C-alpha cells in the first residue's frame, strides 16, 4: 500500500504538520504558531480555537507546498500536548481557554486527591502522583473557582482529542493521553471510578477511550473546506506527545533502550511491559501507544524552556532567535559553571520529576562578580542536565539499565549540549537524525498502522539513525557527580523558602 500520512503535532508553541511517506520518511513540514497566556499564580492557558486555526493553516499550506499530495493522503493522525483540559459544552464548543500542562494553580485540588486516596494507592492506580500539573486537579479547580462555567461543561478532552473532534465530529481519547490525566486506571485501562468519586467529577464528562491506532471517523465536508484535507480521509486517534516521541525515537519495546526529549519541557524515558513504580515517587508511567507497552518517564517542567529563557534575557531581539541560541550555547561551551561554583535550579514553571513541587522556583546559586553571560548560560544547561540525572538515577534504582541515550528535540541540535549531557549522565548521548521530527514521525507511524499503511511499530525502530554521538569524559563525569550533590543540596535547603514565596 502506498500513500502519505498527515501528522499533526500539537505542541506548546504551535502545530507542526508533517507529511510522511510509506517508508516512514518525512516529506515536508510546516509549523503554525499560537500564543500561550502565562499569568500570575501559575496560570498557563491557550485558546482551543487557536489550535484549530493553526491546524487549518498548516494543513492547507503543507498540502499546497507538495503538489498533488492531498489526493495521496491515506490518513490523518495526531500527537498532542498532554495533561491539559479542554472544556466543551453540549454542542462541542469551548467554554473557556484550555488549561495546559504548565498550569500549576490546582495545588489544593491535588492535595485533596492525595488525602482521599493516599499517595501509594493513587500512584499504583494511575502510575502518577496526584499533582497540579495533571488534568483532573485542573478540572476540579475550574469547578471550584468557576462554577458558572463548569455548570455548562458536558465534555472534557485533551488537545489532540479536540482537533480530532473538529475534523470528524467524533469525541474520543486514547490510553496514552488518558494516562496523563490523573483520572485513568492504567492497569484496568479505563477511567477510575474510585478516583473520580474522590474528585466528585462525573465520569460521564470524560470521552470513551479507544486504542491509539483506531480510525475514529473521517474528515467531514466542513472540515475539508477549512483544512484542504479531502473529505472522507480516515482520521486516526493518535496519542500524547510523550509516547509519540518514544515511537519516533524507536522506543517501542523494552530492548529499545532510552531516549531524552529536549524541548520546552524535557524528559528521559524507556519502554517496559509493566508500569514502573518508584518507592520515592520520582517517576511516572504513561501507557504507550504501542499495545501492551508502557512508557516510564521522568519529566521536568522547563528543560528547553530554561535555555530559551536565558537566551531571551541575555540576547533580546539581537538577530534571529536560532542564531542567538546557537551563539550563546557556543559561548557556554568555553566555561564550566559548576566547577566555578555557579549553579542554576531550572524550576521556572515549578517542577515535576523528581520533586513534584509546583511551588519550586528557578534560582542562580553561587553568583560572583566575575561571572558573565557564558557562565549563566552554562549554569542553565548544567542545571537541566543535573535535574534529569536525578531522574535517571531513579530508573537505575528500579532496575532499568540505561547504557546510552538517544536525544531528540531542539536542544539536541547543539553539540555543546550533547557533550554536557553525556558528561553529566556518564553515558554516550546521540542526536537522532530526525531530532526535530521524531514526535511527528511517531504520530505518522501510529496513523499508518491504523490505516494499514504500515505493518507495525517495528518500522519506527528500524529507521532510527544516529548522526552525532558524544561519549562522556571520565574526569568531567567524576567532577559532575560531585557537583550534582551540591545541586541537590541547594534544592533541599531552598525548598522551605519556596513555600514562603507569594
**Cα(89)–Cα(83) distance, integer angstroms:** 20
Q: Select from 439, 423, 425, 427 the least CA-distant residue to 403.
A: 427
Q: Is the pLDDT of residue 317 over 90?
A: no
Bridge pairing between strands 215-218 and 190-191 = unpaired
Average pLDDT over residues 45-69: 97
- What's the CA dihedral at 276, 109, 306, 163 to 10 degrees? 80
Model confidence at 62, in pLDDT bands (50, 70, 90)? very high
Strands 258-262 and 405-408: parallel
Query: Using one digit for the tens of pLDDT, what is the confidence trace for 335-381?
Result: 999 999 999 999 999 999 999 998 999 999 999 999 999 999 999 99
Say if residue 427's pLDDT is above 90.
Answer: yes
Is 245-502 assigned to CATH 1.10.10.10?
Answer: no
> Sheet holding 43-46: strands in order across?
37-39, 43-46, 98-99
324 pLDDT band, cuts 50/70/90, is confident
Q: Of the ranges 44-58, 185-199, 302-316, which one carries the lowest mean pLDDT score?
A: 302-316
By C-alpha distance, which of 412, 394, 306, 383 is closest to 353?
394
- Residue 282 in grid coordinates: 520520582
Find the Cα–Cα–Cα–Cα dihedral 268, 353, 423, 309, rounded to 10°. Answer: 100
- CATH 3.30.420.40 location in the chain: 4-237, 245-502
Is the bond leading into 354 cis (omega within 30 degrees of zero)?
A: yes
Average pLDDT over residues 473-483: 97
Q: Counting every residue, how long is the chain? A: 502
The H or E element containing residue 196 is: helix 193-199
What are the tens digits of pLDDT across the range 136-185? 999 999 999 999 999 999 999 999 999 999 999 999 999 999 999 999 99
User: C-alpha dihedral over 401, 404, 408, 414, to 10 degrees?
Assistant: 140
pLDDT value at 42 more than 70: yes
Using DSSP, state whether 34 is helix, strand or coil. coil
- Lowest average pLDDT, out of 61-70, 387-396, 456-465, goes to 456-465
| % of the chain exceeding 70 in pLDDT | 99
What's the start-to-end Cα distance of the chain, in Å? Answer: 59
Confidence of residue 401 (pLDDT cuts 50, 70, 90): confident
Give the Cα separation of 483 and 502 in Å (integer): 30
Q: Where does residue 366 fall: left (phi above 0), alpha (psi -120 to 50 degrees), or beta otherwise?
A: left
Q: Is-contact 119 98, C-beta < 8 A? A: no
The enclosing H or E element of 425 equals helix 415-425
C-alpha cell at 411: 536542544
Kindly indicate the confidence band of residue 2, based on its pLDDT and cuts at 50, 70 and 90: confident
In the CATH scheme, what architecture does the domain 4-237 have? 2-Layer Sandwich (3.30)
pLDDT at 436 over 90: no
Closest among 220, 377, 397, 395 to 312, alpha carbons compared: 377
Q: How confident is the model at residue 322 (pLDDT cuts 50, 70, 90)?
A: confident
Q: Model confidence at 1, in pLDDT bands (50, 70, 90)?
A: low
pLDDT at 90: 97
SS3 content of the chain, % helix, strand, coil (to 5): 40, 20, 35
Strand extents, DSSP E, 12-67? 14-20, 26-33, 37-39, 43-46
Amino acid at each position: 500500500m502506498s500513500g502519505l500520512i498527515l501528522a499533526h503535532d500539537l505542541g506548546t508553541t504551535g502545530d507542526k504538520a508533517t507529511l510522511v511517506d510509506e517508508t516512514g520518511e518525512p516529506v515536508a513540514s510546516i509549523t503554525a504558531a499560537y500564543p500561550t497566556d502565562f499569568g500570575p499564580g501559575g496560570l498557563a492557558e491557550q485558546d482551543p480555537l487557536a489550535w484549530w486555526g493553526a491546524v487549518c493553516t498548516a494543513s492547507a499550506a503543507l498540502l499546497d507546498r507538495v503538489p498533488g499530495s492531498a489526493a495521496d493522503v491515506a490518513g490523518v493522525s495526531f500527537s498532542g500536548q498532554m495533561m491539559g483540559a479542554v472544556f466543551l459544552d453540549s454542542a462541542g464548543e469551548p467554554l473557556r481557554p484550555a488549561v495546559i500542562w504548565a498550569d500549576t494553580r490546582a495545588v489544593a485540588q491535588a492535595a485533596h486527591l492525595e488525602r482521599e486516596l493516599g499517595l501509594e494507592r493513587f500512584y499504583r492506580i494511575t502510575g502518577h502522583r496526584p499533582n497540579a500539573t495533571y488534568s483532573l486537579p485542573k478540572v476540579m479547580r475550574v469547578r471550584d473557582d468557576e462554577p458558572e462555567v463548569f455548570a455548562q461543561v458536558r465534555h472534557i478532552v485533551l488537545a489532540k482529542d479536540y482537533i480530532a473532534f473538529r475534523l470528524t465530529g467524533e469525541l474520543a481519547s486514547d490510553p496514552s493521553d488518558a494516562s496523563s490525566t490523573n483520572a485513568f486506571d492504567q492497569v484496568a485501562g479505563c477511567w477510575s471510578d474510585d478516583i473520580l468519586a474522590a474528585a466528585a467529577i462525573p465520569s460521564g464528562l470524560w470521552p470513551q477511550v479507544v486504542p491509539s491506532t483506531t480510525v475514529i471517523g473521517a474528515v467531514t465536508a466542513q472540515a475539508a473546506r477549512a483544512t484542504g484535507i479531502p473529505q472522507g480521509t480516515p482520521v486516526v486517534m493518535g496519542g500524547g506527545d510523550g509516547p509519540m516521541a518514544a515511537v519516533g525515537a524507536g522506543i517501542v519495546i523494552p530492548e529499545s533502550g532510552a531516549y531524552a526529549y529536549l524541548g520546552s519541557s524535557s524528559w528521559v524515558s524507556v519502554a517496559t511491559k509493566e508500569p514502573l513504580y518508584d518507592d520515592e515517587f520520582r517517576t511516572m508511567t504513561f501507557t504507550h501507544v504501542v499495545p501492551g507497552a508502557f512508557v516510564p518517564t521522568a519529566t521536568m517542567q522547563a528543560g528547553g524552556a530554561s535555555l530559551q529563557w536565558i537566551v531571551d534575557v541575555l540576547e533580546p531581539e539581537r538577530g534571529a532567535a536560532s542564531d542567538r541560541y546557537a551563539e550563546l550555547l557556543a559561548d557556554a561551551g568555553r566555561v564550566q559553571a559548576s566547577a566555578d561554583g555557579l549553579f542554576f535550579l531550572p524550576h521556572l514553571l515549578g517542577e515535576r520529576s523528581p520533586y513534584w513541587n509546583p511551588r519550586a522556583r528557578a534560582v542562580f546559586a553561587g553568583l560572583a562578580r566575575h561571572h558573565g553571560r557564558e557562565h549563566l548560560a552554562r549554569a542553565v544547561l548544567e542545571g537541566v542536565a543535573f535535574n534529569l540525572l536525578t531522574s535517571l538515577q531513579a530508573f537505575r534504582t528500579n532496575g532499568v539499565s540505561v547504557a546510552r541515550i538517544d536525544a531528540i528535540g531542539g536542544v539536541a541540535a547543539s553539540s555543546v549540549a550533547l557533550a554536557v549531557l553525556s558528561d553529566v549522565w556518564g553515558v554516550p548521548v546521540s542526536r537522532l537524525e530526525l531530532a526535530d521530527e521524531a514526535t511527528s514521525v511517531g504520530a505518522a507511524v501510529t496513523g499508518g498502522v491504523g490505516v494499514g499503511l504500515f505493518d507495525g511499530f517495528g518500522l519506527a525502530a528500524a529507521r532510527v539513525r544516529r548522526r552525532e554521538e558524544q561519549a562522556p569524559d571520565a574526569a568531567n563525569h567524576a567532577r559532575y557527580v560531585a557537583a550534582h550533590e551540591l545541586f541537590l543540596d541547594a534544592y533541599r535547603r531552598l525548598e522551605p523558602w519556596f513555600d514562603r514565596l507569594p
